[in-house]
Amino acid sequence: MAFPSGHGFEEIRRKAGGLLHAKGPQDLLVATVTGLPILFRSRDREEPDLDELAAWAAELANLTFATASHLNSGELQRVELRFEKKSYLLMRDDPFVLLIRFPETAGKPLGAGRLDDLAELLQQLHEELN
């Protein structure tokens, strides 16, 4: 997988890696809303099928955020999904979607401070890729 490169992008990768800690997020993926992987960091040795994961994240983001727009409840900020063994946090900031995977041992996914970190990460990605 050929991700974007350059000094600014490496800095973003380093920050993304800093969000992964022992009891917190396991994987962090940024993809485009069309399902193209842009950035991936993991504290697992095994990497998932990124194309598949990015496609799923984009599909789910498009579905939920488009559906939510009918609610007139303001802007949908994030989606959290809990499966039997893992949970996910999904954010969308066009043209990006950000997906975080948590291990089953994680409790409540992320506090406000970490959510701000993620928003900042996406903002830097916008600036770098522009």
- State the minimum distance, in angstroms, from the CB of residue 5 to other proteins: 29
Least CB distance to other proteins at residue 4 (A): 25
- Measured from the CB atom, the residue of 77 and 123 that comes closer to other proteins is 77
Q: Cβ closer to other proteins: 1 or 66?
A: 66
Q: Rg for the chain (alpha carbons), in Å?
A: 14
- Which residue matches tokens 């598949």? 52
Closer residue to other proteins, CB minimum distance, 115 or 129: 115
Residues contributing to the site for other proteins (CB under 8 A): 56, 59-60, 63-64, 67-68, 70-71, 73-86, 88
Shortest separation between residue 84's beta carbon and other proteins, angstroms:
6
Evaluate whether 57 touches 31 at the Cβ level (below 8 Å).
yes
Q: How far apart are the first and last CA of the chain?
A: 21
- Closest distance between other proteins and the C-beta of residue 128, in Å? 27
Dist. CA 66–CA 64, nearest whole Å: 5
> Is residue 45 classed as helix, strand or coil in its secondary structure?
coil
Cβ proximity of 6 and 12 under 8 Å = no
Whichever of 62 and 124 has its CB closer to other proteins, that residue is: 62
